[in-house]
């Protein structure tokens, strides 16, 4: 089940310890004891709250669960100084740039460094991406009604970012259909210090980084990444942590798009104090990489349970997913993916008679397993939940086979969809489906194995019911 939550805007995912403490105290006064983080580096209230209760917090920009049209700015400030970065784009530079954006934006804005892998480059409507030229940015635009992303035909000067973004918002009523129209309208509307695009954007491939635990910066500083698998962060812990940040003269805390946060600049002499603080609270700072590399829809219990099921299977099979990222999405939502592999839940097929259906899924993977390629390839369609672990492990192995080698161009084609009847066998105890086309990877049954040819001792992969519990049924399927 998924539902909308009230959001607290955190521009660029950056806030001071004092700001976070104020947010925690404000939310605590509403009777809540946890907060969550969103994929756009905002803060989420885990329970629905009345609008009149929210209105008294005048220092906060709060977007109600029923509101649209106010978006948080995403930035890769969190990566500055701790992950690979463009030389001129320092943490201080991010803060000056974010300060430009004074008004509430109705478009999603991303402000990112192409040399980092933690924050997505192309998931905004307006995507500013740092170039090799100091203080100049590529601009990639995909307005809400556009199907494809387009590159603006000029590099944008750092101090024109907000000006350009506002100009684009102002011309939305004219419904521009292409990048050339936007360029002409913006150029007529504002004076800018643009620069010619002299070479295409290069986005180097880096494996997805490990972002948790205590890690060294330079000779005498550390950074700390913290992650809760249920994305419900205890307010009392956060308030105490903010006080510790103030004692250590730590000015900023940054939220990641992966439902976690990072504290940078912990002095070497305070490292033991922080470790004791975490230990007394029982905070785990060494989750497996299998846990950290998932992007889930917010407040979706089904997606969280599916992730737990898949991670448990990976762990049981001792599988490495280093460098890969996984996402779960729903058929009802148009998503701009930013993970290597995507598990896409299908809409339930139309029922025939009293037939009860189980959820089915599609698996997609990014070209070259690089989410910044913005091109996704369909691997399989309409598979059952029990088939997902094996298929994802298969794709993981394909990733490692290709890693470091020259990638082949994979042509993708549109699949013409039509409705037809599909013969499958369904367990009458738990409704698991056996599809002869896919076999049963969990029991080493190869593809295209007829049901009649299954061994007599074959059991349901989910509930272990005997083969006799399966009945032949027909589904309506779009292919």
Same domain, yes or no: 323 and 394: yes
CATH code: domain of residue 55:
3.30.413
91 falls within a domain = yes
If asked whether residues 161 and 38 sit together in one domain, one would say yes
CA-wise closest residue to 158 among 86, 103, 81, 105? 86
Q: Residue 466 above 70 pLDDT?
A: yes
Candidate from 102-116, 319-333, 431-445 with smallest mean pLDDT:
431-445
Crossing angle for the helix pair 161-170 and 179-189, to the nearest 10 degrees: 110
Query: Where do runs of H (alpha helix) occur along 358-443?
Result: 388-402
Is 199 part of any domain?
Answer: no
Distance (Å, whole) CA 348 – CA 332: 11
Interatomic CA distance for residues 244 and 474, integer angstroms: 62
Position 308 scores a pLDDT of 92
- Higher pLDDT residue, 267 or 465? 267
pLDDT reported for residue 22: 92
Residues 220-245 pLDDT 10s? 999 999 999 888 999 999 999 999 99
Domain of residue 27, residue span: 7-189
Alpha carbons 304 and 319: distance in angstroms, whole number: 20
Is residue 284 located within the same domain as residue 244?
yes
Cα–Cα distance measured from residue 124 to residue 111, given in angstroms and rounded to the nearest whole number? 9
Token pair belonging to 237: 């812990």
**Is 207 domain-assigned?**
no
Does residue 132 share a domain with residue 183? yes
Task: State the pLDDT at residue 284.
Answer: 87
Looking at the fold, whether 300 and 280 belong to one and the same domain comes out as: no
- The string of pLDDT tens digits covering residues 380-427 is 998 999 999 999 999 998 998 887 654 443 333 333 334 456 677 888
Q: Are residues 217 and 175 in the same domain?
A: no
The mean pLDDT of the chain is 85
Of the three residues 225, 256, 290, the one that is the final residue of a domain is: 290
Helix (H) or strand (E) holding 267, with range, is strand 260-267
Q: Does some domain include residue 201?
A: no
CATH number for 254 = 3.90.480.10
Mean pLDDT of 136-159: 92
Quick one: 33 and 140 in the same domain?
yes
Same domain, 173 and 232: no
Q: Is the pLDDT of residue 65 over 90?
A: no
Q: Is the pLDDT of residue 442 over 70?
A: no
119 and 56 assigned to the same domain: yes
Is residue 49 domain-shared with residue 120, that is, in the same domain?
yes
Q: Which residues contact 159 (CB under 8 A, 6 or more apart)?
A: 100, 135, 193
**Domain closes at, from 231, 258, 290:** 290
pLDDT at 374 over 50: yes
pLDDT value, residue 318: 87
Residues 316, 464: one domain? yes
Q: At what angle do helices 235-247 and 17-28 cross, to 10 degrees?
A: 150
Percent of the chain whose predicted confidence (pLDDT) is above 90:
48
Q: Are residues 260 and 335 in the same domain?
A: no
Q: What is the pLDDT of residue 408?
A: 40
Question: Residue 347 falls within a domain, yes or no?
Answer: yes
In a domain, 102, yes or no: yes
Domain count, the chain: 3
Q: Is the confidence at residue 48, as pLDDT, over 60?
A: yes
Please say whether the beta carbons of 214 and 3 come within 8 A.
no
Give the angle 239-297-5 at the CA atoms, nearest 5°: 55
Task: Indicate whether 401 belongs to any domain.
Answer: yes
Q: What is the pTM of this model?
A: 0.79
What's the pLDDT band for 63 if we cut at 50, 70, 90?
confident
Average pLDDT over residues 64-70: 67
- The last residue of one of the domains, among 255, 273, 290, is 290
Structure confidence at residue 3 (pLDDT): 43
In a domain, 208, yes or no: no
How many beta carbons lie within 10 A of that of residue 22, not counting itself?
17
């Amino acid at each position: 089940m998924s539902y909308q939550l009230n959001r607290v805007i955190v521009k660029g995912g950056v806030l001071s310890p004092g700001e976070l403490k104020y947010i925690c105290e404000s939310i605590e006064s509403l009777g809540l004891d946890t907060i969550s983080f969103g994929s756009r580096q905002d803060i989420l209230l885990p329970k629905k709250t009345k609008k009149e209760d929210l209105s008294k917090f005048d220092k906060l920009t709060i977007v109600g669960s029923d509101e649209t049209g106010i978006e948080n700015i995403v930035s890769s400030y969190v990566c500055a100084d701790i992950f690979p970065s463009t030389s001129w784009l320092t943490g201080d530079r991010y803060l000056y740039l974010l300060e430009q954006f004074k008004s509430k934006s109705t478009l999603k804005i991303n402000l990112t460094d192409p040399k980092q892998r933690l924050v997505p480059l192309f998931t905004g409507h307006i995507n500013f991406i740092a170039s090799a030229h100091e203080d100049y940015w590529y601009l990639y635009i995909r307005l809400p009604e556009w199907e494809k992303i387009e590159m603006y035909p000029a590099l944008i000067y750092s101090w024109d970012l907000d000006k350009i973004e506002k100009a684009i918002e102002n011309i939305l009523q004219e419904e521009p259909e292409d990048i050339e129209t936007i360029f002409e309208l913006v150029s007529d509307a504002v004076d800018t210090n643009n620069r010619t695009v002299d070479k295409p954007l290069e986005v180097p491939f880096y494996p997805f980084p490990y972002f948790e635990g205590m890690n060294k910066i330079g000779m005498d500083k550390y950074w700390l990444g913290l992650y809760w698998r249920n994305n419900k962060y205890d307010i009392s812990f956060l308030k105490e942590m903010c006080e510790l940040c103030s004692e250590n003269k730590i000015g900023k805390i940054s939220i990641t798009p992966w439902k976690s946060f990072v504290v940078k600049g912990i002095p070497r002499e305070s490292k033991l104090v922080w470790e004791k603080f975490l230990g007394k609270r029982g905070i785990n700072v060494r989750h497996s990489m299998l846990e950290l590399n998932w992007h889930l829809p917010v407040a979706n219990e089904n997606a969280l349970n599916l992730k737990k099921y898949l991670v448990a299977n990976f762990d049981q099979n001792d599988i490495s997913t280093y460098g890969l990222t996984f996402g779960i999405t729903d058929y009802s939502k148009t998503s701009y993916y930013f993970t290597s592999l995507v598990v896409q839940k299908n809409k339930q097929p139309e029922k025939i008679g009293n037939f009860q259906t189980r959820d089915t899924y599609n698996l997609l993977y990014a070209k070259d397993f690089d989410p910044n390629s913005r091109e996704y390839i369909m691997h399989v369609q309409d598979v059952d939940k029990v088939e997902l672990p094996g298929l994802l492990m298969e794709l993981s192995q394909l990733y490692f086979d290709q890693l470091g080698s020259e990638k082949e161009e994979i042509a993708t084609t549109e699949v013409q969809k039509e409705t037809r009847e599909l013969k499958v066998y369904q367990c009458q105890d738990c409704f698991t489906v056996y599809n002869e086309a896919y076999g049963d990877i969990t029991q080493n049954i190869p593809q295209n194995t007829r049901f009649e040819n299954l061994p007599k001792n074959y059991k349901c992969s989910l509930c272990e019911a005997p083969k006799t519990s399966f009945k032949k049924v027909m589904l309506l399927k779009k292919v």
